[in-house]
Chains A and B, each alone.
Chain A
């Protein structure tokens, strides 16, 4: 059953030309240089310090590393991060 639904999603993305983040529940990340980062579709904060932000995703984790990180705003599915971002890493479970 799950396999079928995933196939259907893939098909929708291919045929209907929908953005992948809408269908596949993956994060959409917008970065402005290394200064600002806007992450949608996260599932919660795992850890946060000045040097690292770990976000839980539907599948896996997102690790943002940098310096002087500040969460300017946070909503249920969105995070606005500021600071000097040096790396973004996806980690599977």
Chain B
């Protein structure tokens, strides 16, 4: 029936009405469609009612008609409130100024945080940020999109591989991911690549320098394979470089292996005995059995129960030791099996001697001898392996005597 919000927005007043024909006034007003409420009879000939401001002006002819007089008692609602605000303009301006100030201050960057820097100094990052406009006191509205800032900052920070910008309220967070420094090759002086072993060249690739040997050529230990001196020697215009490259050569090895024909192995018999110990501090007290069979050959395994909490181990504990009996078993192998085993051993041995990346090209059993229950083999191997070795050029040869390095 009543709309409080409408009453407040339009503004309403409380009117005291003095007059004999108060009821008549109410009836007339209601018939006119004037909205009135909270009607009270205060005294004889005095009544009070609430009315909207707009309706109050329509009420006035009726007052004249009924001979009543109205006196406004109280004013309420938005129009009156606005008048009050106008009367206290300073106060109102203060509130607005505060709100605007708060808004302005919250739209300013107050802090630039840099995260994730190790090698780059924070100052450097902040300077890069300043160049693209991201600094303390900058307006957020004037800033570009974070993505754009990121890209521009990255051009100012060559040491960073990624820059992330995030604006969180009045704080700008700059995250920097630094470039991983690659492993730099140590500065190299002039050097040659020489042969490490006597070999026949299998392949030769020079990264820098001049190849001095050809494929299938026999080289001695220490012979220059790739020379660090390049240029035309006749014209006496040479320069020195750090020679590098890959040289593979065929190296011959002879391996002598002997394998016994009878081999003794120990196997479990299945018999075992448990020994119980009480651990107290550093000591283990043997509890039982008191008397146990002692095996000739045995293997022991143990299990400890020692409670520990938060890294502190209790001094008391329990130990169970299990002793398994073993018995020897002699196995005799045939000569062929022994030879196979010997070759396997020989191959492993050769590959160890040749270094990694070595491959066995050829294998030849030279000699098989059986004596004293052993088979002795002599096997020849042709192995392709890396034979390059660096050798610095110490005595800088005069350009007119280039052979000085060659004879090394």
Interface string of B3-27 (1 = CB under 8 A from A): 0000000000000000000110011
Q: Does B88 contact A (CB under 8 A)?
A: no
Contact A73 B27 (CB under 8 A): no
Is B37's beta carbon under 8 Å from chain A? yes
Residue of chain B at shortest CB distance from A82? B38
| A 37-71 contacts with B by CB, 8 A | 44-50, 69-71
A50 close to B23 (CB less than 8 A): no
Is A74's beta carbon under 8 Å from chain B? yes
Within the complex, what minimum Cβ distance (angstroms) separates B119 from chain A?
Answer: 79
B1 contacts partner chain A, Cβ-Cβ < 8 Å = yes
B41 in contact (CB, < 8 A): yes
Query: Is B296 part of the binding interface, using a Cβ–Cβ cutoff of 8 Å?
Result: no
A73 lies within 8 A of B1 (CB): yes
Give CA–CA (A46, B31) in the complex, Å.
Answer: 14
With a cutoff of 8 Å between Cβ atoms, the chain B residues found around residue A73 in the complex are 1-2, 37
- Which listed residue (A45, A47, A70) contacts B38, Cβ 8 A? A70
B 234-249 binary contact with A (CB < 8 Å = 1; else 0) = 0000000000000000
Q: Which residue of A lies closest to B44 (CB)?
A: A49
B-side interface size class: 10 to 19
- Shortest A50–chain B CB gap in Å is 5
Given contacts A73-B2, A74-B36, A80-B1, contact A44 B41 (CB under 8 A): no
A76 surroundings in chain B (CB, below 8 A):
30-31, 33
B15 shortest CB reach to chain A, Å: 14
From A45, A70, A80, give the contact of B23 (CB < 8 A): A45
Question: Is A1 interfacial (CB 8 A cutoff)?
Answer: no
Give chain A residues whose Cβ lies under 8 Å from the Cβ of B44: 49
Chain A residues with Cβ below 8 Å from B33 are 76
Contact of A75 among B23, B30, B38, B41 (CB under 8 A): B30
Chain A residue contacts of B40, Cβ below 8 A = 50, 70-71
**Are B1 and A45 in contact (CB-based, < 8 A)?**
no
* A48 → chain B closest CB, angstroms: 6
Q: Which residues of B are found within 8 Å of A80, using beta-carbon distances?
A: 1
A31 to chain B, nearest CB (A): 17
Scan residues 25-74 of chain B and give those whose CB is less than 8 A from a CB of chain A.
Answer: 26-27, 30-31, 33, 36-41, 44, 47
How far, in angstroms, from A70 to B26 measured CA to CA in the complex?
A: 13
In contact, A45 and B27 (Cβ under 8 angstroms): yes
CA distance A80 to B30 in the complex (A): 13
Q: State A47–B33 Cα separation when bound (angstroms).
A: 20
Cβ B23 vs Cβ A74 within 8 A: no
Inside 8 A of A75's CB, which chain B residues have their CB? 1, 30
Number of A-B contacts (CB under 8 A): 42
Q: CB of A89 within 8 A of chain B?
A: no
CB distance from A14 to the nearest CB of B (A): 33
* A72:B23 contact, CB within 8 angstroms: no
Q: In the bound complex, what is the Cα–Cα distance between A47 and B1 (angstroms)?
A: 23
Known: A46-B23, A48-B23, A80-B1. A74 touches B41 (CB 8 A): no
Q: Are B30 and A70 interface neighbours, CB within 8 A?
A: no
What A residues does B1 contact at CB under 8 A?
Answer: 73, 75, 80
Q: Which residues of A contact B39 (CB under 8 A)?
A: 48, 70-71, 74
| A71 engages B38 (CB within 8 Å) | yes
State how many angstroms separate the Cβ of B45 from the closest Cβ of chain A: 10
**For A45, what are the chain B residues with a Cβ–Cβ distance below 8 Å?**
23, 26-27
Q: Considering the chains assembled together, what is the distance between the CA atoms of A33 and B232 in angstroms? A: 125
B44 to chain A: closest CB distance in Å?
8
Say yes or no: B41 contacts A48, CB within 8 Å. Answer: yes
Tell me which residues across on chain B come within 8 A of A71, comparing CB atoms: 26, 37-40
Residues in chain A near residue B41, CB distance under 8 A: 48-50, 69
CA distance A71 to B38 in the complex (A): 5
Give the residues in chain A near B37, CB-CB below 8 Å: 71-74
Taking a contact as CB atoms under 8 Å apart, the answer to whether B31 and A48 are in contact is no
List A contacts of B27 (CB < 8 A): 44-45
* Residue from A46, A72, A80 with most neighbouring chain B CB atoms (10 Å): A72
Q: List 15 A-B contacts (CB under 8 A).
A: A45-B23, A45-B27, A48-B22, A48-B47, A49-B44, A50-B41, A69-B41, A70-B40, A71-B37, A73-B37, A74-B30, A75-B1, A76-B30, A76-B31, A80-B1
Binding site for B on A (CB under 8 A): 44-50, 69-76, 80
Among all A-B residue pairs, the 7 with the closest Cβ atoms: A71-B39, A49-B41, A44-B27, A45-B23, A73-B37, A73-B1, A70-B40
Using A48-B47, A73-B1, A75-B1 as known contacts, list a sample of 8 further A-B pairs with CB atoms less than 8 Å apart, ordered by residue number in A. A44-B30, A45-B23, A47-B23, A49-B44, A69-B41, A74-B30, A74-B37, A76-B31
